[in-house]
Structure 1
Amino acid sequence: MNPSTRRCFLKGGAVAGATTLVAAPAIAQSMPELKWRLTSSFPKSLDTIYGTAQTFAKYVAEATDNKFQIQTFAAGELVPGLQALDAVSVASVEMAQTPLYFYIGKEPALAYATGVPFGMNHRHQESWWAFGGGAELCNEALKPFKTHAILCGNSGTQMGGWFRKEIKTVDDLKGLKFRIAGMGGHVLARLGIVPQQLAGGDVYAALEKGSIDAAEFVGPYDDEKLGFYKVAKYYYFPGWWEGGAMLHMIVNDEKWNGLPKQYQAILNQAGSAAGAWMLEKYDSVNPAALKRLVANGAELKAFPQPVMEACYKATQDHLNELSEKSELFKKTRESHDAYMKELLFYTQIAENYYDNYLLSKMRKGG
């Protein structure tokens, strides 16, 4: 579905879903005029992630004949990038665009709202969110913060980050100061890494000054924009700490509950449409960006198998400990893992075999 068609669907679908008895012009006339503020956890330079927030706001405006306007602000303009959830919780802004795993120190189960180490890929995650109980579980985790999550985007599987030195063995991780968000940092700490959680706009300066030794962010397109290849040579893959990173629009509960049902429907549909735009954009721009990075001197490397195995074991140990401490975490993990098992059973038969066959042909020049 192209963007123009998607916007038409968004507008028509929201109106049609609201009622079949009232004509669209009457609905538009009866809806209140609202102006909200949206704070993002990302800088404007990241035109795909931050652009998703702008696209979301654009779709909402178009679907409401500009009656519902959402003004977007980059990280730091209103609120620091890592405090977006706090700002929505206390209603200093109506909503935020943020990865919820930034806040696992407040509630560990929120890790599953974005992505956990060795977890599901983007398609599997979003299926779990919509049909496997993921939305209900993650919104249960948000209740103490008086907020509601709307799914709005996914990065796909990410890269493993930029390192000043090669990672050949597990011992090479010890003492490494690594910018990494979410639960991956907690897992790597078990292997000797010193995790650093920094907002996207602060990473380059820290890497350049040497206050960190390595950094992961998203993937080639964003990493190129942030310039990491200029200050760290080795580019590792995969970003196993999240099979795909879901992003959300977080809305203050009181503001959400006060919306007309039509506006709630429009926000949900705008989230789906803008989220699709985000992933489509990344699929379009990442391949060429990766080629440019390699041409500019980046050395592309896979994490060695022994390192992957050590990380997988450390992940399971960490998840087991959290499951023992939190019933909500345990319940969310069991739901996630059972769903992942079913989907992997199917995709190995269908898509994985097909993709691997085409890759073999490509490598042979066929």
Structure 2
Amino acid sequence: MGGCFSSNQEANDAKQLPTNWEKGSYPHHPSILISDEFKFGDNLDHKGITFTKDGETAHGVVQFTFRELATATKNFCIESFMGEDDFGCVYKGRLERSGQVVSVQHRHRICDQGIIEFFKEVMKLSLFHHANLVNLIGYCTYGDHLLLVHKFVPLGSLKDHLHDLLPDQKPLDWNTRMKIAVGVAKGLEYLHKTSNPSVVYRDLKPSNILLDEGYQPKLSNFKLGKHTPFDNLTSCPSFRVDGTYTHCAPEGPIIFDSDVYSFGLIFLELITGRKVIDYTRPYEEQCLVYWARPLLKDRKKYAEMADPLLEGRYPPKRLKEALVVAAMCIQEGIAARPDISSVVAALTYIASSTYDPNA
């Protein structure tokens, strides 16, 4: 956690902001979806902005002052620290003027992101609005500090509920797993088919899937450097395990079909409860794909693939259908994989038959 905010400098900054910062002297990027009609005075009430129930504004995203975010996070104290992601340190906070609970991401200085690039990212993020995405609320720039503000997602990540269960925590049941799978697929479908520009997500993994109330999944941590399948990507952003990009397709994260492959791995994790790479298992079972592919060729063995924590509480027919979808998604050949809309249709059908363990 050291290095997220060094010593007490930033806490002091929050108390000693220069007057010209509060007066809105930092220029707005012309592409940002924010009205020019308001300025930030000493009262910090953001005149001209109206918060909706979901924390969005009629003008797009909100430009917060550093003081507001320092106050919201109690000067970025250890009690507010939620963790560290690919971009920086994340803090939980409560906005003083609205009472809304938010997550505040403070970008690492080592990411070497310039102010113009940051504003471009804010502009792009402000364009995405979907029930299965973590939508942007606002941002802040202060000196070399770059911060993004998102709605707080209270239930943690899919990784927490699938691979890092606490001793007193119940495992996800079948219906919830299928609900999560449908939501993740719909989020990808929005990015692939509806958003403008369309986006190759490129980094689908359990820690980037956050769970809202009712286990509504939301995709987070967009990699917005590239948008179309024709961009020349040379590396996979997903985390590495001994040199292996665990959730990447064989061809790399370069096209929409690569996201479908990554989704297939996530779906297999939901069904089996296994990690994509798990060195605690016997050698032949350490890689989920290599373990699963032989079993997927024999439907008589499908029951062996179900997560033992489900304790048999799942509909056998729907399990088979789900594994067929997963098998199609993780085909090595790009042309053999379904597009994400076909995946959404199949999963919506599977999830429509809820399982009643007492029936």
Normalized per residue, the structure richer in helix is 1
Which has the greater radius of gyration?
A: 2
Q: Normalising to structure 2: TM-score of the pair?
A: 0.25
Q: Normalising to structure 1: TM-score of the pair?
A: 0.24
Higher relative contact order, structure no. (Cα contacts within 8 Å, ≥ 6 residues apart): 1
